[in-house]
Amino acid sequence: MKKESIENLIKKYNFPLKKVIIESGLMLKSDELICDLGFSQKNILLISDNNLIKISNNIASNVKNNKLEKLILEDPTADDVNVNIIKNEIKNIDLILAVGSGTINDLCKITSYQNNIPY
């Protein structure tokens, strides 16, 4: 079976991704990566949970060209309660940045979709 590249799979299945980067040291490039996507001088909400708070803090400390706020969810589950918690924090937010598990990403995706905010 032929192995396909990530870029070919993105094109083949029309995933709404602009870029996939897999390398070490990406936390140090957080600001650069965000700016490369067109977000500079914007309001960003980083959403994570207690399991990844150290990584979230590292990412946040490297964001310099944007205003970044953090929302750390306590033991999140994919439910309306957590979606509403996020909705209450997205006023004047230009980008939602998820750091975490599938649950965190699912919560961010649905909130992003419902409120027309890039994720």
Residue-level pLDDT at 5? 76
Our measurement of the distance from residue 38's CA atom to the centroid of its chain's CA atoms, rounded to an integer in Å, reads 14
Angle at 53 between CA 63 and CA 107, to 5 degrees: 85
Span 35-59, average pLDDT: 93
Task: Say if CB 45 and CB 71 are below 8 A apart.
Answer: yes
Q: What is the pTM of this model?
A: 0.83
Span 29-50, average pLDDT: 92
Asked if the model's pLDDT at residue 101 lies above 90, the reply is no
Span 53-65, average pLDDT: 92
Residue-level pLDDT at 2? 66
Q: What are phi and psi of 116, to 5 degrees?
A: 55, 50
Residue-level pLDDT at 26? 87
Span 35-54, average pLDDT: 93
Residue-level pLDDT at 15? 67
